Amino acid sequence: MFIGQSLAQAQLRLAATLDGLSDAESRWRPGPEANSIGFMLWHVSRVEDGLSSGESAQVSLWESAWHARCGHPVETPAVLRDRESALDLEIPDLALLRAYQQEAAERAGEFAGGLQDTDLDRPSTSWQGMRLADVLRHLATHKNNHHGQIDFLRGLQQDAWDLPPGTGVQLPD
């Protein structure tokens, strides 16, 4: 299914972007009110986990274990609408964030891989007034949009940095 391939490609590129990144680089912000790579990775993971768990009627990975591993209360929202809260959020170590992101991506991939075309027209259980297709489209574009921001921050920190060859072309067999 196209959406599953899109999510897998986004995950491949995101993982490649994070390779070789240090904890200090993941927490670096280009300005006092800018987001860090670590924050964006946390946010992308929380949204991917929340949407795929909600649509598949599972307890989110965040609620089941990851909030405690990250040292956050379970109620910490995936979208921090108030700038001060987002900037004050304690960002876990990069290895921990990457492990959570990988698990969230795997759950989303399993969910998307089990769908039939007819499932896409059903109402979303996560977002009122939307179809499942709309939620999945948002998930793919959301992950890609934040990946672009992470790419940009990585480039600001390392002039010669670029994605490894082949990660933008096609999924490995």
pLDDT digits (tens, 9 = 90+) for 13-41: 899 899 999 999 999 999 988 999 999 99
Going from N- to C-terminal start, the domains of the chain cover 2-157
**What distance in Å separates the CA atoms of residue 14 and residue 144, rounded to the nearest whole number?**
8
127: left (phi over 0), alpha (psi -120 to 50) or beta: beta
* Residue bearing tokens 């969230």: 104
Reported as a single tens digit per residue, the pLDDT across 95-104 is 999 999 999 9
Global pTM reads: 0.90
> Residue 112 belongs to what H/E stretch?
helix 94-113
Q: In terms of CATH architecture, what is 2-157? A: Up-down Bundle (1.20)
How many Cα atoms are found within 13 Å in the side-chain-facing hemisphere of 113?
A: 9
